[in-house]
Amino acid sequence: GGGAPGMEYVMGIKGKDFAMACVSATAVQQIITMKHDEDKVMRVDDHRMLVTSGEPGDRVQFGEFVCANVRLRNMRHGVKTSTKAVASYARQELAKALRQGPYQSNLLVMGYDEGKGPSMYYLDYLATMHEMNVAGYGYGSWFVLSMYDNLWHPDLTQDEALGLMQKGIDEVRRRLSVAPSSYMITVVDKDGIRHLKTLEYGS
Amino acid sequence: GEAMSIQTYNGAAIIAMSGQECVAIASDLRFGVQNQTLACDHKKVYRMHDRLYMGLSGLATDAQTLYKRFVFKHNLYRLREERDMRPQTFASMVSATLYEKRFGPYFVEPVIAGLDPEEGHAPFIAGMDSLGAMETAKDFMCAGTNSESLLGVCETFYRPGLGPEELFEVISQCMLSGVDRDALAGWGAVVYVISKDQCIARTLKGRMD
């Protein structure tokens, strides 16, 4: 078996003209932390990313599966598949697999579309999809979602969002007994996908 | 979390009511996973065509999958028949689609509301369980995690022959009161009132707890 559900920390925020994700960067097997710098963000194309969490094998396999098929479609048709279409496609594949061999992976599909702006889609392992401004997975989200409900506003800037992410991490580290020890923050906006910060704590 | 009960994993409340040459269908707006609420703008009523709407309670992923399947089927029907489906026909199709999965069902309970173009736009209301066992009603139909509380309040406030505005008031009050007794549904509601020549959608502000 792999990742215990809930132990990973994933939070996503959609701001005025960007979408930002903060994900725990630990790769854990049973009681061992194998890695402190696991990047759980998969780049579909320059302006779309999948933030993946859950069972490690499924997480990577499904993420790569979606990325590969979307890129193939982009090549075949000479288009850039929109964020919503990427999310819908991923949802369909999860739904097909649900009653056969489900992927135990929760995702946030985030992207920036020209003309439309940023968007973020919650997509859980059951293939439930919903567009949201603030979303997350795991035990950490129990603490942080309500905090962000209070602090979020539609004109959030990247600096403000970064501050929110830091507040979220601080809260989780203070109150969640199984809080992860490292985190990666990534943002997508009109200029593309950028890794902003990796935060490693001693314990 | 606790042991997963599929029918109460997400939470929903759906009511459909019939009036004088109109029907109304309403759902709550909560999107949650067991006891955690994730969003309050998740509609559970879907438009099939201008005079046919369907509410889907139960497991949200199956509701989304089924909605897409029914859009697909209805689109093909329209291409072949060059007309929209009658509500009765659509309800039969929903029932058959659910029964196809008799030994591995979709975990949804549909409620269908529409106006029949062949009977002078007469109101049509139907509901079914997750296996497709269908019943029609002349007055109202309820589904959801606490459908008993919805039935009780509808039984009390419903009157036959309501016009669109009165029907909207009645169904709204029933929805808002009904979900207050359900921890897994509520957080606002959306109401569609469908008449022969228009459909008005309204969002209700309710208790956000």
pLDDT tens figures, A148-195 = 999 999 999 999 999 999 999 999 999 999 999 999 999 999 999 999
> A87: closest CA among A117, A47, A112, A123?
A123
pLDDT of B44: 98
Q: What kind and span of H or E run contains A174?
A: helix A158-175
> A53: closest CA among A71, A31, A27?
A27
pLDDT of A5: 74
DSSP string, B66-120: HHHHHHHHHHHHHHHHSSPPPHHHHHHHHHHHHHHTTTS---EEEEEEEEEGGGT
Report CA-CA distances (Å) from A55 to A3, A52, A105, B61, B176: 5, 10, 6, 20, 40
pLDDT of A152: 97
Instruction: List the structure tokens of B159.
Output: 């009157």
Structural contact between residues A152 and A161, judged by C-beta atoms closer than 8 angstroms:
no
Interface test with A, best of B5, B33, B36, B64 (most A CBs within 10 A): B64
Is B43 touching A (CB cutoff 8 A)? no
By CB atoms closer than 10 A (0-12, 13-18, 19+), residue A8 is buried
pLDDT tens figures, B52-72 = 999 999 999 999 999 999 999
pLDDT tens figures, A37-67 = 999 999 999 999 999 999 999 999 999 999 9
DSSP A202: -
A42 or B3: which leads in pLDDT: A42
pLDDT of A169: 97
Position A14 pLDDT exceeds 60:
yes
**Phi–psi pair at B21, nearest 5 degrees:** 55, 30
pLDDT of A6: 81
Instruction: List the structure tokens of A143.
Output: 């603490």
Is B38 touching A (CB cutoff 8 A)? yes
What confidence tier does B30 reach under pLDDT thresholds 50, 70, 90?
very high
Is A29 touching B (CB cutoff 8 A)? no
Position B184 pLDDT exceeds 60:
yes
Contacts of B38 in chain A (CB under 8 A): 122, 130, 132, 135, 145
pLDDT of B3: 67
- Looking at chain A, the whole-number percentage of residues with pLDDT higher than 90 is 92
Average pLDDT value over all residues in chain A? 95
- Looking at chain B, the whole-number percentage of residues with pLDDT higher than 70 is 99
pLDDT of B119: 87
Position B2 pLDDT exceeds 70:
no
Q: What kind and span of H or E run contains A33?
A: strand A32-35
Longest dimension (CA), chain A: 49
What span, in angstroms and rounded, lies between the C-alpha atoms of B160 and B197? Answer: 21
Position B144 pLDDT exceeds 80:
yes
**CB distance B36–A142 less than 8 Å?**
yes
Instruction: List the structure tokens of B197.
Output: 């020549």
Q: Give residue for tokens 């459908």.
A: B147
pLDDT tens figures, A72-123 = 999 999 999 999 999 999 999 999 999 999 999 999 999 999 999 999 999 9
Report CA-CA distances (Å) from A27 to A10, A156, A178, A200, B57: 13, 31, 14, 13, 37
DSSP A154: T
Closest partner residue to B61 (CB to CB) among A126, A132, A145 is A126
Q: Is A188 helix (H, G, I), strand (E, B) or coil?
A: strand
pTM, rounded to two decimals: 0.95
Position B176 pLDDT exceeds 70:
yes
pLDDT tens figures, B105-135 = 999 999 999 999 998 999 999 999 999 999 9
- Complex-level ipTM: 0.93
pLDDT tens figures, B73-114 = 999 999 999 999 999 999 999 999 999 999 999 999 999 999
Scan residues 61-90 of B and list those with Cβ closer than 8 Å to A.
61, 64-65
pLDDT of B105: 97
Is A128 touching B (CB cutoff 8 A)? yes
pLDDT of A2: 42
> What's the mean pLDDT in B170-179?
97
